[in-house]
Chains A and B, each alone.
Chain A
Amino acid sequence: MSVSLFNLPDCLMLSLALVLIGSYGVFRRRSLILVLLSIEVMLNGVNLSLISFNFFRWGTVENSHYLYMLSIGVAAVEAAVGLSMVIVLFKNYNDITRNRISQLGERA
């Protein structure tokens, strides 16, 4: 096979493309849940870059695998807190599109 894809630059291209796709979603989406989903897409790209750096560049210690576990811990906490905020906003506003939400408390 002449063309080789499985190398560090192409893995980083894939992860950077995922981050860009996720950031487009953060720009574009109006529902807060879908903004959180786009952040998950970005996190997925970052995790991919961590693991590919560890494989191609640092084949002696699995430091990035540990960083991956830390990252999914943070992602779980972020999802839990963000989704509970979404639920509170839905209770108060009956709406989760971000254009109409400017504060977390009761509607003034």
Chain B
Amino acid sequence: MPVSPVVEITFALSALVILLSSLAVVLVKNPVRATLLLIVAFIPTSLVYILLQAAFVGILQILVYAGAIMMLFTFVIMMINPSPKDGESPAGGSEGGEGGFSGMRGALIGLLVVGALGALLLPKVYHAASQVSVAPVTKPGFGELSSISALLFEDPANNPLTVSFELISFLILVGIIAALNFSRRKGAEARMENSITTRPTEALPILQREALEPK
């Protein structure tokens, strides 16, 4: 299948940028920088999607992934403001050592496991993918919005994809309820503690209680 040199060069450059910035996401110390580097990795990914005739998916990648999900990450990182050393343990990393992977030993173990996995998988996957017969795109308007919407919503009464696409909204609803529940439980317990007193000094106003109780 002949491909134009422009596509080849664009694909090679985007693959390089994707790999480098994803590596930087894993290795960089500052969490905010890691999030922004992941957004940087998503932009050439959407370029690759456009090369693969999936323009709508490329748009979704920018709008939903880089725009919404990564902004959620950025908000949470800026809200709880972890110090830069949280991301990567400095040399030693002795605090809480029972967790196992920490310090240089952890880096070595991780590199060993991932390297062995890569050395095992990469040649096999390459070999197997080379054997696969390639079927070029024949559908007119492949990957365009009209084509995808026809796939999803044509004959909605009998189309299983319509039902499962609508079920995604229930999945998101469940996620919202779970997130709300996580954030609500703490407040409810605090209110319970305030209303029911077990010790007589707790019935007093807070300032007097602090004056009475020894430190």
Q: Indicate whether A and B interact.
A: yes
List residues of chain A with CB under 8 Å of any chain B CB. Answer: 1, 4-14, 16-18, 20-25, 27-31, 33-34, 36-38, 40-41, 44, 47-48, 51-52, 54-63, 65-66, 68-70, 72-81, 83-88, 90-92, 96-100
B203 at the A interface (CB under 8 A): no
Q: Are A30 and B88 in contact (CB under 8 A)?
A: yes
**10 extra interface residue pairs, beta carbon distance < 8 Å, beyond A6-B8, A86-B76:** A10-B11, A14-B48, A56-B132, A56-B135, A57-B132, A60-B137, A74-B171, A77-B171, A77-B174, A77-B175
**Can you sample 18 A-B contacts with CB below 8 Å?**
A4-B8, A8-B134, A9-B129, A34-B31, A34-B86, A37-B73, A40-B38, A44-B45, A48-B48, A48-B49, A57-B132, A66-B161, A70-B165, A72-B60, A80-B72, A84-B182, A87-B79, A88-B185
* Interface residues on chain B, number (Cβ under 8 Å): 98
Interface SS of A by simple majority: helix
Which chain A residues lie closer than 8 Å to B5 at the CB level? Answer: 1
Which chain A residues lie closer than 8 Å to B79 at the CB level? Answer: 87
B7 at the A interface (CB under 8 A): yes
Which has the most chain A C-beta neighbours within 10 Å: B165, B179, B183? Answer: B179
B214 at the A interface (CB under 8 A): no
List residues of chain B with CB under 8 Å of any chain A CB. Answer: 1, 3, 5, 7-8, 11-12, 15, 18-19, 22-23, 25-26, 31, 34-35, 38, 41-42, 45, 48-49, 51-54, 56-57, 60-61, 64-65, 68-70, 72-73, 76-77, 79-80, 82, 86-89, 93, 95-99, 101-102, 106-107, 109-111, 113-114, 117-118, 121-122, 125-126, 129-130, 132, 134-139, 142-143, 147-148, 151-152, 161, 164-165, 168, 171-172, 174-176, 178-179, 182-183, 185-186
